[in-house]
């Protein structure tokens, strides 16, 4: 029984305007991924090789997947997402085959952004990965060979994400591989404000809701935490009455009491 998984091609429905904060990361991805995918001929004219691999790292829920989707969408590219656990098969040789199929499919529908989530469990520095050490090593070698084999003009860019960059096999970080490291941090107050604006865009907010106050009182909240906060506030409003027409300051206060930042100061210091 083959465990080969279907490879789904997506056209993401999020763009730059759906991302709050992360200005540096956005800028680097526009230049490093969007431009070369959109105008490969300009890079050719200038005789420069676009980067092949981008490693997004930072705490969970800060928008790594979102960035990868947005850059694909803005570059009018296809998006193929996978995570390490999807690539590792218990059947001999099948994981490598899955990696190769992923690249083959990406080339067929180019321009394409390949996104590999949780890359640290595929390629851990010293064992401790999801599978047998020998098996994960073969998978990583296949991945590296596929990346080495990507022609500059083929219109395929590989993006990977990790919460634990320190655990990554250094072989992945050599030039021509994941040589662009993009930090995706926990947002500051300005970023949180932007994120709150995005996630309350379709909410009927009462006049007393103060996003300045909320962004100043949500230290270490990630984008995912802030989205959760707005959703909870909406639910709390509905809990008081299904006929509610507004989400109020009080609803947000209550939601705030129920929500904790998912990132601790210790976690943040690790990056
Ligand atoms: P993980 O490491 O757990 O995979 P991640 O960094 O990939 O997390 P995402 O999956 O991109 O995080 O974020 C989860 C959700 O949180 C997003 O779908 C989005 O709704 C919200 N979110 C996270 N960061 C942001 C942001 N910077 N701006 C707007 N929304 C955000």
Distance, CA of 221 to CA of 111 (rounded, Å)? 34
Ligand 1 centroid distance, CA of 257 (Å):
22
Atom index in ligand 1 nearest the CA of residue 162 equals 2
Distance, CA of 30 to CA of 219 (rounded, Å)? 28
Residue nearest to atom 9 of ligand 1 (CA): 63
Q: Ligand 1, residues 62, 220, 271: which to mutate, most atoms within 8 A of Cβ?
A: 62
Task: State residue 1's pLDDT score.
Answer: 47
Can you tell me the ipTM of this complex? 0.97
Confidence of residue 4 (pLDDT cuts 50, 70, 90): low
The ligand 1 site (C-beta within 6 Å) comprises 19-22, 60-66, 117, 161, 163, 195, 198, 223-224, 227
Q: Ligand 1, residues 19, 224, 268, 270: which to mutate, most atoms within 8 A of Cβ?
A: 224
Q: Are 32 and 136 in contact (CB under 8 A)?
A: no
Flag whether the pTM goes above 0.90: yes
Summarize pLDDT for 141-169 with one digit per residue, the tens: 999 999 988 876 689 999 999 998 888 88
Summarize pLDDT for 178-204 with one digit per residue, the tens: 989 999 999 999 999 999 999 999 999
Summarize pLDDT for 62-102 with one digit per residue, the tens: 999 999 999 999 999 999 999 888 887 767 788 889 899 99
Residue nearest to atom 25 of ligand 1 (CA): 223
Summarize pLDDT for 26-66 with one digit per residue, the tens: 999 999 999 999 998 998 899 888 888 999 999 999 999 99
Summarize pLDDT for 105-144 with one digit per residue, the tens: 999 999 999 999 999 887 766 555 555 667 778 888 999 9
């Amino acid at each position: 029984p083959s465990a080969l998984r279907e490879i789904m091609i997506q056209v993401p429905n999020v763009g730059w305007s759906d991302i709050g904060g992360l200005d540096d990361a956005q800028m680097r991805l526009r230049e490093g991924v969007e431009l070369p995918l959109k105008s490969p001929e300009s890079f050719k004219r200038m005789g420069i090789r676009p980067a092949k691999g981008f490693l997004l790292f930072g705490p969970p829920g800060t928008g790594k997947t979102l960035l990868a989707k947005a850059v694909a969408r803005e570059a009018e590219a296809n998006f193929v997402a996978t995570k390490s656990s999807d690539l590792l098969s218990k059947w001999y040789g099948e994981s490598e085959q899955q990696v190769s199929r992923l690249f083959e499919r990406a080339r067929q529908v180019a321009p394409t952004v390949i996104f590999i989530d949780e890359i640290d469990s595929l390629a851990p520095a010293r064992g401790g990965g999801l599978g047998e050490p020998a098996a994960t090593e073969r998978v990583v070698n296949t991945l590296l060979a596929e990346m080495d084999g990507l022609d500059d003009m083929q219109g395929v860019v590989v993006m990977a994400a990790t919460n634990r960059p320190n655990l990554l096999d250094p072989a992945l970080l050599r030039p021509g591989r994941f040589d662009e490291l993009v930090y995706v941090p926990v947002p500051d107050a300005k970023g949180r404000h932007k994120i709150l604006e995005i996630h309350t865009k379709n909410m009927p907010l009462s006049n007393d809701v103060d996003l300045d106050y909320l962004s100043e009182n949500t230290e270490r909240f990630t984008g995912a935490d802030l989205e959760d906060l707005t959703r909870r506030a909406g639910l709390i409003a509905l809990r008081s009455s299904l006929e509610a027409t507004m989400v109020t300051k009080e609803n947000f206060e209550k939601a705030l009491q129920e929500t904790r930042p998912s990132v601790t100061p210790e976690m943040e210091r690790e990056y």
